[in-house]
């Protein structure tokens, strides 16, 4: 059987790019045909031609402090099959729109020519700058959500998902947390070369497909810079008293604001109703107990303020995608001897 021509992959580098995912993506894609001795499902010849592209060929210092030089400048690349934007470092968790206009123009032209446009983690900021994602679903590392929503309110986020595809031909592919470039690569390989190749690649490199999405990894980080003093006072009180009985009623009393007004202001300031906020805060605390203690799940439920363990288990799975027992198994590290 004749193998299809190699697909061209352009990995975009900017001064904000982290070197590790950029190099790892290149290394993994370039390794595929070399693994045929390990699994005969692997193609005989390289299925991808991988190159690093940037605004110019001049050497640049990455955000990791590691210098790199692009194989080609973007104005030398008239067409490509796949564009990948690795993780970027953002300034003070903010993004200035229009930061790289020449690259944004090039991305739009590659899309018009039929390329897949992909991002890993915060690389989606640069992809969003093209305007091509407006009104389409996206994802990225949950810690960048506030900055992304400020910069691109027209793009809805699905933070619970580790991988999101969008567009009429699924030509936009975005992955979430920092190491989810692995999910991105496994998705592309499976989509283009078939599941057996993706499976063999994952097995050889010990790459992980995050089937549970991002929800188990997310840390509850509510906004505190909203400027509503009574709501902020309630938030600080709740942080120290999350297990208190009837916490919403007590926050209303503490605020000195009528209940309906308080609930409206709280939701406007935090993006969550008071009861939903309490649930997220309590489950976040439960994660810490499960990670760092051997308390039975029923005791953890009581510690965070839920007397009904069955309700706690249902709520935990709804917010994290995992049962408390599965979460403990996946996120408890072994204790290593100190040296």
Question: Looking at residue 266, which CATH number applies to its domain?
Answer: 1.10.10.60
Domain that holds residue 72: 7-215
State the pLDDT at residue 1: 46
157 and 255 both lie in a single domain: no
**Is residue 337 situated within a structural domain?**
no
In 3-state terms, what secondary structure has residue 29? Answer: helix
139 and 245 both lie in a single domain: no
State the pLDDT at residue 92: 63
Phi and psi angles of residue 257, each rounded to the nearest 5 degrees, phi first: -110, 145
39 and 113 both lie in a single domain: yes
154 and 283 both lie in a single domain: no
Residue of 129, 20, 22, 26 lying closest to 85 (CA atoms): 22
**Is residue 60 situated within a structural domain?**
yes
Q: Which residues contact 191 (CB under 8 A, 6 or more apart)?
A: none
Question: Looking at residue 46, which CATH number applies to its domain?
Answer: 3.40.50.880
**Is residue 69 situated within a structural domain?**
yes
CB 60 within 8 A of CB 19: no
**Is residue 130 situated within a structural domain?**
yes
Extended beta strands in the chain, E state: 7-12, 48-54, 60-61, 67-68, 72-73, 82-85, 116-120, 163-166, 172-175
State the pLDDT at residue 3: 65
127 and 24 both lie in a single domain: yes
Number of structural domains (the chain) is 2
209 and 294 both lie in a single domain: no
Q: How far is CA 154 from CA 118, 150, 151, 172, in A?
A: 19, 10, 9, 16
List per-block mean pLDDT (blocks of 10 residues) for the chain, which spans 339 residues: 82 97 96 91 94 96 95 97 96 84 98 98 97 97 91 95 96 94 97 95 92 88 92 96 95 95 96 95 96 94 96 96 93 75
68 and 158 both lie in a single domain: yes
Residues 292-316 pLDDT 10s: 899 999 999 999 999 999 999 999 9
């Amino acid at each position: 059987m004749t193998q299809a021509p190699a697909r061209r992959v352009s990995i975009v580098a900017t001064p904000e790019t982290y070197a590790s995912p950029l190099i790892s993506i290149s290394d993994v894609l370039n390794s595929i045909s070399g693994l045929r001795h390990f699994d005969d499902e692997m193609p005989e010849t390289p299925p991808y031609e991988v190159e690093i592209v940037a605004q110019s060929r001049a050497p640049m210092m990455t955000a990791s402090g590691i210098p790199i030089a692009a194989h080609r400048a973007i104005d030398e690349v008239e067409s490509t099959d796949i564009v990948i934007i690795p993780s970027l470092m953002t300034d003070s968790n903010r993004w200035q729109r229009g930061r790289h206009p020449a690259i944004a123009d090039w991305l739009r032209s590659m899309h018009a020519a039929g390329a897949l446009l992909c991002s890993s983690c915060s690389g989606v900021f640069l992809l969003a700058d093209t305007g091509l994602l407006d009104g389409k679903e996206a994802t990225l590392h949950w810690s960048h959500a506030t900055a992304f929503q400020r910069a691109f309110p027209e793009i809805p986020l699905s933070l619970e998902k580790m991988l999101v595809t969008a567009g009429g031909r699924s030509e936009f592919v975005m992955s979430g947390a920092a190491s989810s470039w692995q999910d991105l690569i496994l998705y592309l390989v499976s989509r283009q070369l078939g599941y057996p190749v993706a499976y063999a690649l994952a097995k050889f490199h010990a790459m992980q497909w995050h089937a549970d999405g991002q929800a188990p990894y997310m840390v509850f980080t509510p906004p505190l810079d909203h400027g509503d003093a009574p709501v902020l006072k309630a938030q600080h009180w709740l942080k120290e008293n999350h297990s208190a009985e009837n916490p919403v009623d007590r926050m209303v009393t503490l605020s000195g604001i009528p209940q309906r007004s308080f609930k409206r202001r709280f939701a406007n300031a935090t993006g969550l109703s008071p009861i939903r906020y309490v649930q997220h805060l309590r489950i976040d605390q439960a994660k810490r107990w499960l990670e760092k203690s051997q308390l039975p799940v029923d005791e953890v439920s009581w510690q965070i303020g839920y007397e009904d363990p069955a309700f706690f288990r249902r709520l935990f799975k709804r917010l994290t995608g995992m049962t408390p027992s599965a979460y403990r198994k996946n996120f408890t590290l072994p204790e290593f001897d100190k040296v």
